[in-house]
Chains A and B, each alone.
Chain A
Amino acid sequence: MAALHRQKRLSNALFALPYLVVFAALLAFPLGWGVYLSMQKADLFGLYGFIGTNNYVRVLNDPLFWQAVRVTLLFVATTVPVLVGLGLFLALALNRRTRGSAILRGAFFSSTVLSVTIVTLIWRFVFIPGDGLLSIGFEAMGWEPIGFLSTRGWSLFSVGIATVWWCLGLPMILILAALQQIPADLYEAAALDNASRWRMFSRITIPQISGTLILVAVIQIVMQFQLFGQAQLMTNGGPNGSSRPLVLYIYRTAFENWDVGRGAAASELLFLIILAAAMLQFWVTRRANR
């Protein structure tokens, strides 16, 4: 009997094999290979010897790395709440069964399907000096135009605006789906109790969709930590690295400077940062819900 049970359990495991193979090939092996590379003197064309933690020491002693960490943390800390908040607001506003809502849902989601190249091109038309939309507007108002893409502070702000516009669709749709799962009788019962709209929102809506809000926040934290294309195409990380996120730092190090070992070390550190941030977010939200 026990032997049959063991055999059954082994055959059950076979069902997970396809996923495990993909997981091992596309996640576990690259992660392990990345750790191995980070301890090598390496460029794209070969490995030139084991150097222990030297790459990590170089990365951790590099002021540019810490600048990129600060830029990335600031970016995540500002864009994620905006994405979750705006996504919630839009989902609440569009949670109706009308044709207008359906059209607007499609309109707000449409930016998400664009490639990063198109998104940055559109926003460059808005932000570039001279012929840019904002520049023309500023000149029409008699104000001094701002170099949105080339001024410290404004450059990261501009990348953030483009990112929120691009990424807003997914949070909105996920939260909308969660809102539509809330049983209508909860609201009917609350209405019978003469509950205010705010009370219904804070005591029914938010608790009912809290799981989705956590999911959206974690997805956005992980996504925004990986900011790359918008920063590279809109500001090239400038001026003076003030809009250079960690992934652009890694890319420059590994592909432009041919220092793949050091780039791999920075990648492993980014992995740890994302993991810690996502776990922290998860832990804090769970604790608050308890």
Chain B
Amino acid sequence: MKRLLLASTAATLFATGAQAQTTIELQRFFGACDADYGDVTDVSSAVGECGIITALINDFEAQNEDIDVEVTTVEWPGYDQLNAQLASRNAPDVVSMHYSVISDYTSRNLLEPLDDLLAEQGIETSSFTDAALAGVTKDGQIYALPFDNWTMLWHLNMNLMEEAGLVDDSGAPILPSNTDEFFEHAATFEEATGKPYLVQILANETAAYARLFYTFMLQQGADPFSDPTQIDLMTPEAKAVVEFLKKISDEGATTTDMDYAAAVAGFGSGEGGIGVNGTWLIGDYTAQSEEEGNALSDGYTVYPIPQLFATQDATYADGHGWAVPRNPGRDDDVTAAIGKLMAYLAENDFQWARTGHLPAVASVFEMDEFQSLPHRDNIAEVAQTGQSLNPQVLRQFSIQDIIGEEFNSAVHGDKTVDEALEAAQNRINDLLANL
């Protein structure tokens, strides 16, 4: 009986100890890779977005044994799920969020301002890059820990570019400087390799169309959202961009019918010369190029989307941050644990930058380790040329879907360019007029 009592007491104490552990519920996209990285705490050995963020969280838990981070992985971008959780007052403590959607949530008072939390952890807002800080600041308050800036890039298969003679004497790729040159290069490439110049995401995805559209609008110095409450697409600049996108498809300068996964794999297996995709793939493609016996072996590099329109060199950029949904009932110890996690993520922004994203913490740019990462010189200019949409524009993901869907129909010939532009404008303005 005595033994039983002692055992019961010990079990109770153990259980009480377990309950004392603070749990943070973290919800993120970036994919699931527990089979490869579920136990990895050596962050430097991880590769790719999923691998690095998984290892970072594992390492944070190892360093803070009193904090348990329960990770829920959602399919990109996961905002539908988050909306349902917020509506049912069951939101996670920390959630990954694009800078471009933060305004949607702050407009409904759904996020905690983080100024005090970051200050308590000794994180100075001046430590972030201007672009990152602007992305997370709304009405003078910070609503997410900025983690990176990203943009679309040209990932180059140098083995195929060399075969096409599109490499100069220094070994650098020869890239077009206007749309006419683009089609000349595409024809040269196709003739030499029998493959399309671009590997694009043209099926069942809308984001790529919208990002390219914004990039080429910015390159013409045109802002379709000069008034953040309505879009103006009936302009010569907008028409020029959609006609250019359509001509790429009409002239066979791109792969067709590839969705996101097929396009990522397609570029990796050498189905075309230039993969039009984001910063987040640099780490993965670099790792692939360092292995023998594949299409990218010793033949991969990456550049910003070249300036193909005359006015200015510019590219559309967005970023990822970590937001904290509002929860008046959150315990102080959970809030303190969230602060620790934020501090850890900011301290390890270099590790995240190994994915290919541009760091949100300015000092990372000065680190030797960062500067020695492959291809970062090529894309450093994005820090200056990257521009986001007017942050007052709400529902940017919905707008992205509409633009992608309508422009896809123009590119595939289901609508004329003018019809697609008019339909997109009407749909977006109806959306914004009824918020």
Give chain A's interface residues, CB within 8 Å of chain B.
41, 43-46, 58, 64, 128-131, 145, 147, 149-152, 235-236, 238-242, 251-252, 255-259, 262
A129, A240, A251: the one contacting B415 at CB < 8 Å is A240
Majority secondary structure, A binding face:
loop
| Best-surrounded residue of A43, A45, A64, A258 (most CB of chain B within 10 A) | A258
> Bound complex: CA of A152 vs CA of B204, how far in Å?
12
Q: A150-B203, A150-B204, A241-B405 are in contact. List 7 more A-B contacts (CB 8 A).
A: A58-B434, A129-B257, A145-B257, A149-B203, A152-B412, A236-B204, A256-B79
Indicate if B148 sits at the interface (CB-CB under 8 A).
no
Q: Given A44-B87, A257-B398, A258-B104, A129 and B258 touching (CB < 8 A)?
A: yes
Known: A239-B412, A256-B397, A258-B83. A45 touches B110 (CB 8 A): yes
**Residues of A with C-beta under 8 A to B259:** 128, 149-150
**Residue numbers in B under 8 Å from A129 (CB-CB):** 203, 256-258, 262
What is the interface of chain B, defined by CB distance below 8 A to chain A?
A: 79-80, 83-84, 86-87, 104, 108, 110, 202-205, 256-259, 262, 265-266, 271, 395, 397-398, 401, 405-406, 408-409, 412, 414-415, 427, 430-431, 434-435
Write the nearest CB–CB distance from B259 to chain A, whole angstroms.
7
**In the bound complex, how far is the Cα of B433 from the Cα of A58, in angstroms?**
12
9 contacts between A and B (CB under 8 A): A45-B108, A129-B256, A150-B203, A239-B204, A239-B408, A240-B406, A241-B405, A256-B79, A257-B395
B231 to chain A, nearest CB (A): 15
Q: Which of B83, B415, B435 is close to A255, meaning CB atoms less than 8 Å apart?
A: B83
| A240: chain B residues within 8 A (beta carbon) | 405-406, 408-409, 412, 414-415
Is B202 within 8 A of A45, CB to CB? no
Interface contact B202-A44, CB-CB below 8 Å: no
**Given contact pairs A58-B434, A240-B414, A257-B431, A44 touches B83 in the complex (Cβ within 8 A):** yes
Ranked 3 nearest A-B pairs via Cβ: A147-B257, A150-B203, A240-B409
User: A262 contacts B87, CB within 8 Å?
Assistant: no
Complex CA distance for A242 and B266, rounded to whole angstroms: 26
C-alpha spacing A229/B265, complex, angstroms: 25
Closest beta carbon of chain B to A136's beta carbon, Å: 14
Nearest B residue (CB) for A147 = B257
Which chain A positions have C-beta within 8 A of B401? 252, 256
Q: Are B108 and A43 in contact (CB under 8 A)?
A: yes
Residues of B with C-beta under 8 A to A58: 430, 434
CB distance from B90 to the nearest CB of A (A): 12
Q: Please, which residues of chain A bring their CB within 8 A of the CB of B79?
A: 256
Once the chains are docked, how many angstroms separate the CA of A119 from the CA of B11?
45
Rounded to whole Å, the gap between the CB of B27 and the closest CB of chain A is 16
CA distance A107 to B124 in the complex (A): 63
Residues of B within 8 A of A251 (CB): 80
**Residues in A whose Cβ lies below 8 Å from that of B84:** 44, 255
- Give chain B nearest CB distance to A202 CB in angstroms: 45
CB A170 to nearest CB in B, in angstroms, measures: 28
Given A129-B262, A150-B259, A240-B406, are A255 and B204 also a contact pair (CB < 8 Å)? no
Q: Could you tell me the distance in whole angstroms from the C-beta of B61 to the nearest C-beta in chain A? A: 29
A150 contacts across to B, CB distance below 8 A: 202-204, 256-257, 259
Q: Are B256 and A147 in contact (CB under 8 A)?
A: yes
Given A150-B257, A236-B205, also A130-B408 (CB < 8 A):
no
Q: A262 contacts which chain B residues (CB < 8 A)? A: 434
The CA-CA distance from A145 to B262 in the complex, in Å, is 15
Chain A residues, Cβ within 8 Å of B397: 256
User: Contact at A45–B257, with CB atoms within 8 Å?
Assistant: no
